[in-house]
Structure 1
Amino acid sequence: MRYFVEFSYFGKNYHGWQKQPNAISVQQVLEDTFSTFFRKSIDLVGAGRTDAGVHAKQMFAHFDGEPIEDIPNALHRLNSFLPDDIAVHHILQVNDEAHARFDAVSRTYEYWVVENKNPFYIDAAYYLKNQPDVEAMNEAAAMLLDYQDFECFSKSNTDVKTYICHLEKAVWERKDDQLVFTITADRFLRNMVRAVVGTLLEVGKGKWTKADVKSVINSKDRSKAGPSVPAKGLYLTSVLYPDKIYK
């Protein structure tokens, strides 16, 4: 029987989602906890990767196991075993062919910037000392929706077969004391969002124009794009699936 698990985590203490031989990951902690609770080896297949230090407000993974008779009790006990920076929210029965990664139709990330020094955001947002030109950044961000090949924003030496991503949204908004960049697409390349944000901030600082960003995208060269902003400001906020996968 296949289940989807919905969870969240604060990524400061982890080297990303994916298991690694010599570093602690969210996947490893969850698999160890699930295996202990269900008293059998549990393998979790995540909706995607997040890099070291990146957070997730909503993340999904699937696993196979025996029928779970009391899901609310299972959630309560799993959360009692998990560290404070990881929480499991839902366990949902899905079709046996449902896949947490391949069936996702869209993913949304937010990047948080603060413009005033705030100790409560030290591990949760990027402190930018000078106020950027948000209107100029939004003009450049809107232009991204006209493109599909984002090789210029991809981490070098990756094993991806295509750099094509279909963007639905890319916008900067002021929310309370934060400047938040929200971006939605069917898929993202490794390090893509942090590179996009770094590039748009170059526009916000007045160093680049919208035309410069066009040249970067057309170059397909990561070295031409802006610097990657720190991981601590990045949040995976939503992963959407078609209703047909659920039982």
Structure 2
Amino acid sequence: MYIIKLNAIDSTNSYLKDIVSVTLPKDYTVVVAEKQTKGRGQMGAEWQAESGKSLTVSVFKSLESFDVKEQFYISMAVSLAIFKALSVFKIPQLRIKWPNDILSADTKICGILIENVIKNNNLQGSIIGFGLNVNQKYFDNLPQASSMSLLTGVIYNKDEVLSEILKQMKFYFNILESNNHSEIKEEYESFLFRKDKPSTFRSSNNNSFSGIIQGVTKSGQLQVWTEDEIIRTFDLKDVKLLY
């Protein structure tokens, strides 16, 4: 494992992408920044992290033998790795909010952004970025954000937290690389936020509807049992879970 520690950077994912544009890094090359000036989340959202109080990390995972059609399994494996690492630190009421936010009860403590490296329609690897609120206490205009420390009252050693996440990441990628994909999907679905509970959703055309999350497809679409008693599938850009 090769770890690059930076004081400040625009984005750890962008830093790794610049390296990838020249040559593929070693497997499990890790970039850690004390401060990100342009951290990114899903769908172009900005990731807010107080300098020195959070983990802002990107990991390059080599996946040259992995089928590009099954890339959502990467997202599931990473979600499970962070979920299990946080379980080790006794973070309460953990859930995975589709596709890969990590919640405690209904507050978000970790966001994940995965950018796959694809050349000639073949997957070369993944740049796995995550922002984990570790010791941060204040969040501007983010009422649904929290941190490990706010939830437990403990001040955490960020290096210890990162070490546990990387350990769990290796564990789950070993399962993936042994082609035991069903185990990953089954475990991921068991921890899905609001699964099997009546929930409210908003569609891309701003209409609200009720439904019950059943699970996900192999390609990562959300399966929702809707009021007309049909299981419909949705992409990330098509629907938002209101909570």
- TM-score greater than 0.5 by the shorter chain: no
Structure ranking higher on relative contact order (CA contacts 8 Å, 6+ apart) = 1
TM value normalised by structure 2 = 0.24
Larger radius of gyration: 1
More strand by share: 2
TM value normalised by structure 1 = 0.24
